[in-house]
Amino acid sequence: MNALEDLERRIQERLEGTVIGLRELIRTLVIAVVSRGHVLIEGAPGLGKTLLGKTLAAALSGRFTRIQGTADLMPSDMTGVHVLDESSRKFVLHPGPVFTDVLLVDEINRASPKTQSALLQAMEERQVSIDRQTYRLPADFLVIATQNPHEFEGTFPLPESQLDRFMMRVDVGYPAPEDETRVLDRYGTIAAAGAAAPESPAAAGITAEHIAAARECADHVHVSPELTGYVLAIARASREHGQIALGLSTRGVLALVRAARVAAGLRGSEFVTPDDVKRVTPWVVPHRLSLTSEAALEGRSDRELAGTLLERVPVPR
């Protein structure tokens, strides 16, 4: 078992003690953590998105803070403000919740576009500018955001620049009947409604050293020139597709290669194959595609169009 597989085992153990039936989704979160990417979790209310994000944040080493997205949330509520210190007669920064290792933004699309944009610099550069001064964030700063479907009441769609900064979007659907039965068995009592979520007794601790070893392991996974050409061909096909107004960005291409690299390492391989690219494409590509108005009228989805890109691009031998 390599360091990547060991990290996934540890995270799966930690999360399965609380979250039921989301094993495949947990793998996508492992890929994002190792790749230093941010994660967007989308789904209807009440399906465990917040619980999944909180449990992952608790499983990782470092400080954890949480922001609840609301219509009246201001950018300074995230980044912080300078306040006059009466004793020193100087303005002192009161840092906001963005100064942390793991930031959970719950229902991010209930915040206004102005407030959403306060995260752009933090997610891309891992620093924030407040009153013309720049402050560094932790090197492993991670944003886990949840959002409701955009057609829900009181939501603001995330702009393309914001979506592109999320390495992966994970869609949470309704659980299988057997998983929902387990949820009822575990959380169906009155006592469980007010209690903290249980943790697996077999869960092993996750340290910064485990994550660093997993990243080093991923860096040693080989990416051939043919595989690089395959990823670039997918990006080119997205930019030339008649029903896609905005195709895959260069940031998206990098995210696709990094995610495929980690996916290959998680199955114990020393090199990336086209199947690894196909495996991570549904998580990395769809939310980066902007559909034309004609495609929207026809009821096409970004996930469906991402699938057509894989069908159009020939697989290298």
Q: Which amino acid makes up residue 197?
A: A
Same domain (yes/no): 9, 158: yes
| Residue position matching structure tokens 């995270």 | 11
3-state secondary structure 297-313: HCCCCHHHHHHHHHHHC
For each successive 10 residues of the chain (317 residues), what is the average pLDDT? 90 82 82 92 80 79 85 91 84 90 89 88 91 88 85 77 91 84 83 59 68 93 95 95 92 96 94 95 94 89 92 90
Residue 48 in any domain: the answer is yes
Write down the pLDDT at residue 195: 60
> What total number of domains does the chain contain?
2
Same domain (yes/no): 97, 145: yes
Assign residue 252 the CATH number of its domain: 1.10.8.80
Residue 207 in any domain: the answer is no
Residue 166 in any domain: the answer is yes
Write down the pLDDT at residue 97: 93
Picking from 105, 104, 110, the residue whose alpha carbon sits closest to that of residue 158 is 110
Note down the domain range covering 41: 3-196
Same domain (yes/no): 186, 232: no
How far is residue 62 from each of residues 101, 202, 262, measured CA to CA in Å? 5, 21, 22
Write down the pLDDT at residue 252: 94
Picking from 227, 234, 273, 272, the residue whose alpha carbon sits closest to that of residue 250 is 234
* Cα(47)–Cα(172) distance, integer angstroms: 7
Write down the pLDDT at residue 196: 56
